[in-house]
Each structure stands twice: as structure tokens, then as C-alpha cells.
Amino acid sequence: MTDGLVDIFRETRAVLLDFDGPVCRIFAGLPAASAAEGLKRLLRGQGAELPQDVAELDDPLKVLRRTADFAPELVDKVETALMAYEIKAVDFAEITPGARDLLAACAGTGRPVVIVSNNSEPAIERFLDHAGLDKSLAGVVGRPIGAPAEMKPHPRSVLRACEMTDVRPDEAVLIGDSWFDMEAAINAGARSIAYANAEGKDVTLAQAGADVVSKDMREIAAAVRASR
Ligand SMILES: [Mg+2]
């Protein structure tokens, strides 16, 4: 275990947890690419002409984000459709190895945990409820409905989670698996741990400004325990 991991928990009081990646793979069973295709079909059906970069997207969250630029009048429709895909997807989502362990370690050391996600709250809450994890959390901050520009890397959700747990941003650590997570933490003035769950992410997420990188949620959980 790296000393940096233990140190970061010694220096913070609240844990902010990205959902897709550190908690589960939300699109493990209902692929993200098919949700993205569904959203593009909806946009075309509403008469929107898709920019080339959007036509090539396979991430439904990116389709939503870009819709605000080229078809802002359709953001609500795309949002509603994406929420329906996410709710369907969570029933086939796979919990991340070590996620339960991390939540138990945080509970055992008196650390509040808030989910900070670009996924929608109803889907996140459904997953947590089905996994029996809803009681392990101090709160859930999902995507701001109808305001895709305020998704991470915007600091809104991180700052909201800090308010919920009554800590200053620099007393919170965000655990996430994407470039946007690292940027959101920086933009809010919070600390960050990169969960490098794919080849090469240890390098890219360090470049994105991660304070510490780990490839295993169980290692992060062990650091929480070692920090007390
Ligand atoms: Mg993620």
C-alpha cells in the first residue's frame, strides 16, 4: 500500500465516491453504446442534425452533454430517455470488487460517504437499495437534471457533498475513475484518489492531477483502516 493513500485519509474527513467505476459498472449488462445509440436515434427522430463528433459517440453521458450545444431544446427529452436507460441498466450492473469493503471501512472509522456522480439519482438509489448499501451512505448527489454543463468536471456536486457532510472542500477526498473526476476535485479544492480500473489509467489520471492512484478498491479500503 502506498503511504500517500493512508496520508490522504489522515488529512481528510469525508469520502466522496464516484458511482460508475468505484461502486459498480453501471453499463455492465446494458451496454453504454446501445444507450448512446438510442439517444442519437431520439435526436434524429426529433429532427436534429448530429454533428460528426456526436454521431461517433458511444457514451450516453457525452451525448447528453453535447446536446446542450447543438439542440438545447431537446436536452429535457434526452435527459428523460437517459434516465430510463440508467434505471434499466442498474438491474444488470456489477458491483465493483472492494466497494463494500470501502464502505465498511468508512463506517468503521466514522467517515461519512457521499456518492458524487454524473449518473442520475433515481438509478443510483435503485442500485444502492438493491445492493443493500443505501444505509451506508450520508447522501447521493447525482446529475443536475436539465443542466448538463454542471456535471463533473464542474465542481457543483463535490461542493454540494461537502455541504451535506459539513466539511470544507479540502477536508474531502473524491475517489473516481475518470479525468473529469480529477478535474472536479481540483475545481472544488478537494483531494482526489484515482481508481485506475483499466490499462493505462494510472498514467492518464496522474496526468489529470490525481493526488494518489490505486488499482484496487480493497487497497483503498485498507488505507482507510490504517489511517485511524
Ligand atoms: Mg466513473
Instruction: Select from 44, 71, 90 the last residue of a domain.
Output: 90
Return the bridge partners of 63, or none.
Answer: none
First to last CA, the chain: 15
Domain count within the chain: 2
* pLDDT cut 90: percent of the chain above it: 98
Ligand 1 center–CA 111 separation, angstroms:
21
Ligand 1 center–CA 50 separation, angstroms:
26
The answer to whether residue 3 scores a pLDDT higher than 90 is no
Ligand 1 center–CA 47 separation, angstroms:
31
Instruction: Kindly report the CATH number assigned to the domain that includes residue 114.
Output: 3.40.50.1000
Residues around ion ligand 1, judged by CB within 5 A, are 18, 20-21, 177-178
Give the model confidence (pLDDT) of 45-90 as tens digits: 999 999 999 999 999 999 999 999 999 999 999 999 999 999 999 9
pLDDT of residue 123: 98
Ligand 1 center–CA 138 separation, angstroms:
19
pLDDT of residue 2: 72
Q: How far apart are CA 205 and CA 182, in angstroms?
A: 7
User: In terms of domains, do 37 and 100 share one?
Assistant: no
What mean pLDDT is predicted for residues 130-141?
96
User: In terms of domains, do 135 and 180 share one?
Assistant: yes
Ligand 1 center–CA 177 separation, angstroms:
5
Instruction: Select from 90, 119, 137 the last residue of a domain.
Output: 90
Instruction: Name which of 127, 107, 140 is nearest 221 in CA terms.
Output: 107
Give the model confidence (pLDDT) of 21-52 as tens digits: 999 999 999 999 999 999 999 999 999 999 99
